[in-house]
Chain A
Amino acid sequence: DQQVKQNSPSLSVQEGRISILNCDYTNSMFDYFLWYKKYPAEGPTFLISISSIKDKNEDGRFTVFLNKSAKHLSLHIVPSQPGDSAVYFCACGGSNYKLTFGKGTLLTVNP
């Protein structure tokens, strides 16, 4: 039973445009949400996070939006750059230390 779903295995975007990556979760006990970026043969790198008391968090080109009623979060990258090409994982956590990850979305930014 997948508690965290990233329904798009891949996404292709032109350089300079917006990339929108989506994530849905089912566990209402999750109250902290993170996005990780992963290059091949490397470990995941923390990108941005949001707690359940907020609905938006922005860091440079990256913005995470949280819709608690829909149990949905999204990551917006504006403008997208070729170096952003990677696998993006959504991760959700509760009041403890465990993170539940989605399967990831492969983002390709074309020059």
Chain B
Amino acid sequence: NAGVMQNPRHLVRRRGQEARLRCSPMKGHSHVYWYRQLPEEGLKFMVYLQKENIIDESGMPKERFSAEFPKEGPSILRIQQVVRGDSAAYFCASSPDRGFNYGYTFGSGTRLTVV
């Protein structure tokens, strides 16, 4: 019974390149949430998706960031033209229903380093 799977665990990109982070939710979970943790900070909400729908992207930077959760396959967080300030840990969480009443299940995260 696998948990939330994120890959890659570590990703190094040069400034200006694209980063693609993948998240496979727990089996039976159709709600996915992305959070970002900058160094020395707490996790901050980025986006909430259901299958084929973006429900809330209010935490996403206005430019260069996009997310999707297709009918088949993992959820993808895409960062175009990365800059040093994008270096952070990106965590994905999933839940069977909307909300967090029993606590989200988080993946192990992708640590993005921009050089």
Contacts and interface: CB of A to CB of B under 8 A. Distances in A.
Interface of A: 4, 32, 34, 36, 41-47, 49, 89, 91, 93, 96-104
Given A43-B108, A46-B104, A97 B40 contact: no
Contacts of A96: 56, 99
Query: Which interface residue of B9, B48, B103, B104 has the most chain A CB atoms within 10 A?
Result: B103
A44 B109 CA distance: 9
B108 A32 contact: no
A66 B62 CA distance: 36
A100 B105 CA distance: 15
Interface of A is mostly: strand
Contacts of A98: 45, 48, 56, 59
Contact of A97 (B4, B91, B99, B107): B99
Given A43-B4, A43-B106, A43-B109, A103 B42 contact: yes
B50 to A, nearest CB: 11
A100 B100 CA distance: 12
23 contacts: A32-B101, A34-B100, A34-B103, A36-B103, A42-B108, A43-B6, A43-B106, A43-B109, A44-B91, A45-B106, A46-B102, A46-B103, A46-B105, A49-B103, A89-B42, A91-B43, A97-B95, A97-B98, A97-B100, A98-B48, A101-B42, A101-B44, A102-B42
Contacts, number: 65
B33 interface: yes
A44 B100 contact: no
B45 A99 contact: yes
A44 B91 CA distance: 9
Interface string B14-29: 0000000000000000
Contacts of B105: 46
Contacts of A36: 103, 106
Contacts of B104: 46, 99
Given A46-B105, A97-B98, A101-B35, 8 more contacts: A32-B100, A41-B109, A43-B6, A91-B43, A97-B31, A98-B59, A99-B43, A104-B42
